[in-house]
Amino acid sequence: MDETATELAAMIALLRRSVGGWPDIAVDVQEDGSAVRVLSRQAGHADTLFPDEETVAALLDGAAAEVRRWEATGIGVHAFFERSYPAQLRTIREMPPVLFTRGRLDVDTRAVAVVGSREADAPTLKIARAVAGSLADRGVTVVSGLASGIDTAAHLAALDAGGRTVAVIGTGIRRTYPSGNRELQEHIADVGLVISQFWPDAGPARHQFPMRNAVMSGYAAATVVVEAGQTSGARIQARLALDHGRPVVLTSQVTRHEWAQSFAQKPGVYVAGSTAELLDAVDDILGRLPTKTSLEDFPDLATR
């Protein structure tokens, strides 16, 4: 294996051995500068009270074989220190140490998340379609979570407009939730991008969807909330987006809710009463972005 492949294998081995401290592992690797060195400190010590019989070499070989099996089925595997990893995710506290992808990676500087309720009514779905389609027409990548309701409407509208859409999912990359979106997920993988931070065969679990929202917020330059009740994941994403320093655009529909009325007073939050106002807000947000967000902004982290 070359150095990059060895470092990726070491990261997979570290995560496989972890009992839940993935963020801690990412911090350890960032501070040390090498996943292999971190793995060597943690594994293969036979002269301790509780000997570790797995050698570092065996762990690396096993993890490298697992990566090859994933890649052979069309799954991309990207550690945070690799050139292929989305640079914008390195700026958020919830940065996944590894991402699994299907589809075409791109810099996606001009990306906006369009999110909302799974139980949206027909008028709200119409708004979501109009917003996502208009964004796609302007060359903006539409990001959403492949859930029922608003997410599905946003993905379909972007595709219908011939635009790029990115699905950030709350299951493993080989799973689909809801199952009725399997065909849509496959189509997005063919023409856009599907992203997961979970092991490829991980099924849906309640705690994973807020984690998905954090990555969706971090990937996008801004979040548009079309509709979201008090307990909606879209509300969680609005909070996370502000934590990440990403602007939030609320439609007038969502400001019927008390949480949104409170958010509307915060810096970085726009309230749009029409699709035209919403697009004006997005234009303002995109106009404030740096001219380049790419690998060169993180030269100390990139190895490929």
* Residue ranges covered by each domain of the chain: 1-72, 111-287
Percent of the chain at pLDDT above 70?
91
pLDDT computed for residue 47 by the predictor: 47
At residue 1, the pLDDT reads 79
Per-residue pLDDT tens over the stretch 222-267: 999 998 877 788 899 999 999 999 999 999 889 989 999 999 999 9
Residue 52's pLDDT is 55
Beta-strand runs (E) in the chain: 76-79, 98-103, 111-116, 141-144, 165-168, 193-196, 222-227, 248-251, 269-272
Is the predicted pLDDT of residue 22 greater than 90, yes or no?
A: no
As beta bridge partners, residue 247 has none
Model pLDDT, residue 294: 45
Residue 301 pLDDT? 36
Say if residue 172's pLDDT is above 90: yes
Sheet holding 76-79, edge to edge: 76-79, 98-103, 193-196, 165-168, 141-144, 111-116, 222-227, 248-251, 269-272
**Chain mean pLDDT for the chain:** 90
Average pLDDT, stretch 75-91? Answer: 96
Rounded to whole angstroms, what are the CA distances from 259 to 108, 229, 238, 262? 30, 8, 10, 5
Amino acid at 150: I
Position 231 scores a pLDDT of 74
Which of 73-82, 89-98, 212-221, 290-299 has the least mean pLDDT? 290-299
R_g of the chain, CA atoms, integer Å: 20
CATH 3.40.225.10 fits 111-287, yes or no: no
CB 124 within 8 A of CB 148: no
* DSSP conformation class of 140: P
User: pLDDT tens-digit profile of 29-78?
Assistant: 999 999 999 999 888 654 443 445 678 999 999 999 999 999 999 999 99
Dihedral of the alpha carbons of 125, 179, 182, 20, in degrees to the nearest 10: 100
